[in-house]
Amino acid sequence: MLPVDLPGTVRDALLAPLVDHHCHGVRRDDLGRAGFELLISAGGVPAPPGTTHFDTPSGAAVRRWCAPLLDLEPHAPPAVYLARRAELGAGEVNRRLLAGAGVVAFLVDSAREDADLLSAAETGRHGGAAADELVRIEEIERGVARTAQLAVDYLDSLGEELAGRAARAVGVKTVIGPLCGLDLDPARPARGAVIAAANRRLADPKEPLTDPVLLSYLLWSGIDVARERGLPVQFHTGFGAPGTLRSDPPADPSAGHGLGHGLGHGLGLGLGHGAGVGHEAGAGHAAGTGYGAGTGYGAGLGHGAGLGYGLARAAEPDRADPAGLGRFAAALQPLGVPMILLHPYPFHRQAAHLAGAFPHVYVDAGLALPHLGAGARVMDELLELAPFHKQLFSSGCHGLAESAYLGALTFRRALAAALAARLDSGEWSTADAARVAHMIGSGNARRIYRL
């Protein structure tokens, strides 16, 4: 499994059970090829005519690494792999792959009560692991907006629902970045402005929330609840996730279920090193690192019939750049609420800088690793820039148990390569490498989420 030879203690640390601190439910039903390919694709959209999403890094990884868990030879052809998957049935496939990930605890963003997805408890049972829930504040707001009649009732219900859900969770999550950008005003919005925004929201509650005033109020409400209960707050940054912001999904997965990843390939390519961000962190820390603020990978919001909305967001990759969080991180620091920057690629250097500059900011590589052929380089750069006690593991899996398995596999392989380079150069001792592997794989998450 590991790509390099390592001392036994380091190898044991890398293969030890992981804490997957951010993932989603996986499908409980059998999928046809069209639905399966949508969920292995980075953009969550069908492949162009005459092509297949199996011809991607993630598609090749499924055939290479997941096939043996289904009793197939490595590199099994797509048709053979999918036929075997159908023969075993979704339940058995989910059990094999989730258990094979070697995870001791899943922290699940179960934002949507989708009967087609495993719940947090079911995810844990299938994987032979503990499982806890993450509360996504925008999803709570969505439910409140659909039932509230008056702005005052809306605000009161929002606070009650947030507190109630947080009482049963280990963390709070926001996707405010793709909705309105991460260059957040750290000031709390005025009450009058919030009520006016709430009235506008109730006039059209089915649309995704994009009003910056109401999003700011919602975020601060979530932070207040997190502070009261000692919970961290996860921020969606950089590399998106299927279904992050979709509305009600179509029943047929081949008709667009899981759209919303929106990497925006070909949009904005060519923005490279040197564009710089230089955002002031508010306390003398510059959040920029001098690296380009976009490579064509954006945080699209598309879903089903609303795909154009997602493509528009994919053309604005800077929305998901965590460098814009500098002032907000400085404002949040006195409150002691941990901020966790999820899957920030291609802005991982900016995120790592913030993790080094602020004592309450953390970072992971997340689901970028199984979707990239350069996962080892991303992990290596995080180790160069971010404190080791500020890094975590997450698979970011969604829809397919394969994504959970590959998330864990690619994390272990990428970290193994980075540790081997440091050991070979004499930069680290064997004890250093083993300790860092334990910290990132599970120890840091146990401490932050109080597991």
- Mean pLDDT score, 53-74: 96
- The reported pLDDT for the residue numbered 269 is 30
pLDDT-based confidence at 113, cuts 50/70/90?
low
DSSP for 86-134? HHH-HHHHHHHHHHHT-EEEEEEE--S--TTB--HHHHHHHHTSEEEEE
Q: Cα–Cα distance between 43 and 69 in angstroms, integer?
A: 26
Question: Residue 274 — very low, low, confident or very high, per pLDDT cuts 50/70/90?
Answer: very low
pLDDT, greater one: 66 or 273: 66
What pLDDT score does 318 carry? Answer: 78
pLDDT, position 428: 98
Give the pLDDT of residue 201.
96
Q: What is the pLDDT of residue 288?
A: 36
Q: In terms of C-beta distances under 8 Å and separation of at least 24 residues, what long-range contacts does 193-200 make, across chains too?
A: 194/155, 195/151, 195/152, 195/155, 198/151, 198/154, 198/155, 199/151
DSSP letters for 183-235 = ----SPPPHHHHHHHHHHHHHSTTSPP--HHHHHHHHHHHHHHHHHHT--EEE
Residue 96 CA neighbour count, 13 Å, CB half: 15
Burial 390-421 (b: 16+ CB within 10 A, else e): bbbbbbbbbbbbbbbbbbbbbbbbbbbbbbbe
- The whole-number pLDDT of residue 43 equals 73
Buried b (16+ CB within 10 A) or exposed e, 114-146: bebbbbbebbbebbebebbbbbbbbbbbbebbe
CA distance 287 to 307: 32
Q: Bigger pLDDT: 69 or 296?
A: 69
Question: pLDDT per residue over 282-311, tens digit each?
Answer: 333 333 333 333 333 333 333 333 333 343
Report pLDDT digits (tens) over 205-256.
Answer: 999 999 999 999 999 999 999 999 999 999 999 976 444 444 443 334 443 3
Give per-residue pLDDT as tens, 156-176: 999 999 999 999 999 999 999
Instruction: Work out the average pLDDT over 106-128.
Output: 90
Give the mean pLDDT of 265-275. Answer: 32
Number of H helices, E strands in the chain: 19, 8
Strand partners, 107: 132
For the stretch 327-352, pLDDT in tens is 999 999 999 999 999 999 999 999 99
Q: Quote the pLDDT of residue 115.
A: 80
Average pLDDT over residues 262-270: 31
Confidence of residue 316 (pLDDT cuts 50, 70, 90): low
Q: Over the stretch 417-433, which tens digit does the pLDDT of each residue have? A: 999 999 999 999 999 99
Average pLDDT, integer, range 274-280: 34
Residue 263 confidence (pLDDT) = 33
The chain-wide mean pLDDT, for the chain, equals: 85
Res 131: pLDDT: 98
pLDDT at 97 exceeding the cut of 70: yes
CB-count burial class (<10 Å; 0-12, 13-18, 19+) for 72? middle
| pLDDT of 368 | 85
179-212: pLDDT as tens digits: 999 999 999 999 999 999 999 999 999 999 999 9
